[in-house]
Amino acid sequence: MRTHLGLSLVTALLLAACAAPADGTEDATESGEDALSASKFAGAYTSYGAEWKDGLVFSLVLRTDKTFAMTVRGQYGCGHYGGYVCPETWSDGRTGWTDVGGSWKVSGTKLSLQPTGDGAKADPLAMTIGLNGDKAEVDGTIKPNRNIHATMDVDALFSAKHSVKDADLDGTWKVSTPDGSSSQPMLSGSMMSVTGDQVHTITFDKAKKSWTESRSGDPKPRKPLVTAYTVAGNGAGTGAGVIFLDNGRGSFDTVKIESAADDKLTLVVAGDRKIILDRQ
């Protein structure tokens, strides 16, 4: 999960396909256990490791409720237009990144992102998006003519196929690592050191779409940085799926489900670390 210069990242609900309305704009509908979206683009995208040049789209999430969150390198609309936030550190001032949030709609491969929030009304952002397996090309313009762009990794697609469902995670799981290490990565990307006879557990609550972590000896469960979860697919629509974790404002994380059984999950977290969840 990204943390740059003291910032945390930018989302959602499980998707599936449905017919687009006659005007070409795709809207959400209800079917099955979760909200569904006609748009195959609804998902989470990042460009970790890319060169930090102004205009880089560092992260983008297009949620099924038609809200979006995006982090862009550079400063845009700071302190003036609603929906634009330019984070600062306590000592250095603005960090050179802009977080943008609001609503989105799509027609074909063209997105219209409407920033919303306190401040003057912002113009919509026009963006094109193209999917190619686990990569996405995004290109857009922030008025008057400032280009934003990136070749992004497709971290999660909510309409893509996956075998694990939200309900399969419901309950409490004991956390361990394949190598027996006591240093266990948390799902939100940071580290929890478990020593001696302490037990690290994760509880998923399907009804609330939330999750918490705790370890024996803690006075209460630890509140994760990102608190909502759903299971989505990867860019190829193959395998067990991806756990998508979202705080609803801008921070998100994705965790690959490497293997799944009724009582055991093997997850890849923090890029390349593995943890094992055993159902309690």
pLDDT, tens digit, for every residue of 226-254? Answer: 788 999 999 989 999 999 998 877 778 89
pLDDT at 197: 74
Summarised one tens digit per residue, pLDDT across range 73-102 is 999 988 889 999 998 878 777 888 999 999
Has residue 17 got a pLDDT over 70? Answer: no
Pick from 249, 240, 235: which is nearest to 277 by CA? 240
pLDDT at 173: 95
Has residue 70 got a pLDDT over 80? Answer: yes
Q: What is the CA radius of gyration of the chain?
A: 19
Summarised one tens digit per residue, pLDDT across range 111-153 is 999 999 989 999 999 999 999 999 999 999 998 889 999 999 9
Concatenating the DSSP letter of every residue in the chain gives --EETTEE----------PPPTTS---EEEETTEEEES-TT-EEEE-TT----TTBEEEEEE-TTSEEEEEEES--STTTBTTEE--EETTTEE-SEEEEEEEEEEETTEEEEEE-SSSBPPPPEEEEEEEETTEEEEEEEETTTEEEEEEEEEEEETTS--S--HHHH-EEEEEE-TT--SEEE-TTSSEEE--TT--EEEEEETTTTEEEEEETT-SSPBPPSS-EEEEEB-TT--SS-EEEEE-SSS-EEEEEEEEE-SSEEEEEETTTEEEEEEE-
User: 28 forms bridges with which residues in the sheet?
Assistant: 37
Distance CA 67, CA 134 (A): 22
pLDDT at 34: 37
pLDDT at 94: 82
Distance CA 61, CA 65 (A): 11
Summarised one tens digit per residue, pLDDT across range 19-53 is 333 333 333 333 333 333 447 899 999 998 888 89
Would residue 219 be called left, alpha or beta, if left means φ above 0 and alpha means ψ between -120 and 50 degrees?
Answer: alpha
In the structure, what pLDDT confidence band is assigned to residue 66 with cuts at 50, 70 and 90?
very high
pLDDT at 267: 94
Has residue 1 got a pLDDT over 80? Answer: no
The one-letter code for the residue type at 231 is V
Distance CA 182, CA 195 (A): 6
Distance CA 275, CA 261 (A): 14
Summarised one tens digit per residue, pLDDT across range 179-231 is 888 777 777 766 777 766 788 899 999 999 888 888 888 888 877 777 889 99
Distance CA 224, CA 202 (A): 10
